[in-house]
Amino acid sequence: MPIEKITSRKSSVVKNAAALLQKAENRSEAGLFMAEGARLCADAARSQTEIAACFFTENAAKKYKDYLDPVLKQTEHAYCIEEHIAPMLSDTKNPQGIFCVCRMPKRRADGLPVSAESDTRPCRHVLVMENIQDPSNMGNVLRTAEALGVRHLALVGTCCDVYAPKVLRGSMGAVFRLGIRRFETAEDCLKVLHAENITSLAAVPDSDATPITTIPFETGNWAVWIGNEGNGLTNEAIEHCHDRVTIPMRGRAESFNASTAAAIVLWEMERNGAGGTSYG
Amino acid sequence: MPIEKITSRKSSVVKNAAALLQKAENRSEAGLFMAEGARLCADAARSQTEIAACFFTENAAKKYKDYLDPVLKQTEHAYCIEEHIAPMLSDTKNPQGIFCVCRMPKRRADGLPVSAESDTRPCRHVLVMENIQDPSNMGNVLRTAEALGVRHLALVGTCCDVYAPKVLRGSMGAVFRLGIRRFETAEDCLKVLHAENITSLAAVPDSDATPITTIPFETGNWAVWIGNEGNGLTNEAIEHCHDRVTIPMRGRAESFNASTAAAIVLWEMERNGAGGTSYG
């Protein structure tokens, strides 16, 4: 792998990469996104994400050698950048000095990345997020889904971009491996899930809805829908789901944070397998 | 209630209030903190938090009359401020224009506020947080604890201030009602919990620890310890707890976000009562 040196902030290679940080449109048009940090870049390589370019400072190359080596084996282009260029490629306050331009993974019909060593057992549990806007929430939900073994997510409406820098970091790389499908409308998503024989449940903060603890997640195929941070699910989603479920609350609380609600739902989907050997 | 007009940004009343936003030391020295926003201020009044001063813009007084009225009934001083002063008292980008200077509630030995209509049943479940630094995490954990009915928290070491503006907002006012105790060291906290006949469990991301699903939270008294965002619990805490517990994970994930781990622990503490009538 020949390594090219970049010393100028005017480098078009750097500018094109930096544009990927700015807008979802830039990323989707190019089919590329930026991963930042030694761990995340190594994780991209390990997850068989295609790496179009790797940028690193000399200091970072020394400090994070073990992370960088597998990335350099896989990348199509490698660039050693001067320290003063690192902030242009960074979305963080203190960049580590390692960055990758990655190709968005090709995904199967069920959303799983084609090239990764994906767990391709049939999809039994799906978390659906409708209009989730906060990148921290989105990243955290993806991280939690992977940790708990829920491999399929559906994003409906105006959810934030999973390839946004903050989502990627918060997800701890789960974006590289999870099954992720996007739908423009609740109706589109419901149709597809229905055709896959998956029962959709709308999570709502209503005490008269079915308690989440009574859903037999161990049997059958289930999707639970979580709504926007401020407004919850749309009426369209609630009306067309098969049932409404709720996480029972006490005290004065009126709702959970969206990523907390998602975490409890994900946990309930899988908890009966947790601690035993029946993970499935 | 006579209402004083404030037109100058040099007002010492405003400056003293603004100082409470800046530093935990300013708050603890004065025994005061700032609540911002119509809902949070109304919530403070409703939770019988003593209100030393209320600041509001004319626009806010019209727009949020129903929220402001109960606050004005309780506050010791009321100030109508001009619009240009609101940002001085605000920690948010778009201030609503309603602010309260509140007295920190006096707390009982178990941490519950003395004056609130606290639920004073004995303390059976405690969430212990050690060195939790992120105000978003702290606020979210408090909100979740209240929603799930866990009324007792213990903060060990260098946890962020629960009266910080971001924590207060994230907690949705739970700070006004929950039992909150602070301890300098893990040892101090363990001693007190032990004397209260509460068994301490250290939450760790180790697959050989006891699965959280096997703890009989319905019987006995339990405290679960959650550690710092980056480093987890200190060795001191882990060694002196009665047992180590874990939230079983799959896939490549190495850990949960601290507030997600706390949410799952809080939910497990209370889930067997959820959906039924045995909430306790």
Determine contact, residues B202/B193, Cβ cutoff 8 Å.
Answer: no
Per-residue tokens: B210: 């006891």
Answer yes or no: do A144 and B260 touch at CB < 8 A: yes
Q: What is the pLDDT of residue A121?
A: 73
**pLDDT of A44 higher than 80:** yes
* Partner residue facing B253 (CB), from A119, A172, A275: A172
| ipTM of this complex prediction, to 2 decimal places | 0.92
Q: What is the secondary structure of B197-264 as a DSSP string?
A: T-EEEEE-S-TTSEEGGGS-TTSS-EEEEE-BTTTBS-HHHHHHSSEEEE----TT-----HHHHHHH
Q: What is the pLDDT of residue B119?
A: 66
Dist CA A27 CA A34 (whole Å) = 9
Dist CA A33 CA A169 (whole Å) = 12
* Partner residue facing A253 (CB), from B172, B252, B275: B172
The helices-and-strands tally (H runs, E runs) of chain A is 10, 12
Dist CA B150 CA B125 (whole Å) = 6
Helix (H/G/I), strand (E/B), else coil: B38: helix
Q: What is the pLDDT of residue A277?
A: 36
Query: Distance from A7 to chain B by nearest Cα, in Å?
Result: 34
Give the pairing of strands A199-203 and A243-246. parallel
**Contacts (Cβ under 8 Å, ≥6 apart) of B248:** A274, A275, B207, B211, B212, B213
List the domain boundaries for chain B.
3-103, 125-273
Q: What is the pLDDT of residue A122?
A: 75
Determine contact, residues B143/A257, Cβ cutoff 8 Å.
Answer: yes
Per-residue tokens: B171: 């907690």
Query: Which CATH number is associated with domain A3-103?
Result: 3.30.1330.30
**pLDDT of A276 higher than 70:** no
Q: What is the pLDDT of residue A279?
A: 38
Using a CB-CB cut-off of 8 Å, the residues of chain A touching B43 are 252
Query: Distance from A54 to chain B by nearest Cα, in Å?
Result: 23
Answer yes or no: do A253 and B214 touch at CB < 8 A: no
Can you list the residues of chain B whose pLDDT is less than 50? 275-280
Lowest mean pLDDT among A13-17, A118-122, B78-82, B257-261: A118-122
Fold category of B125-273 in CATH: Alpha/beta knot (3.40.1280)
A116 has a chain B CB within 8 A of its CB? no
Same fold, A3-103 and A125-273: no
**Contacts (Cβ under 8 Å, ≥6 apart) of B272:** B217, B218, B278
* Partner residue facing A275 (CB), from B177, B214, B264: B214
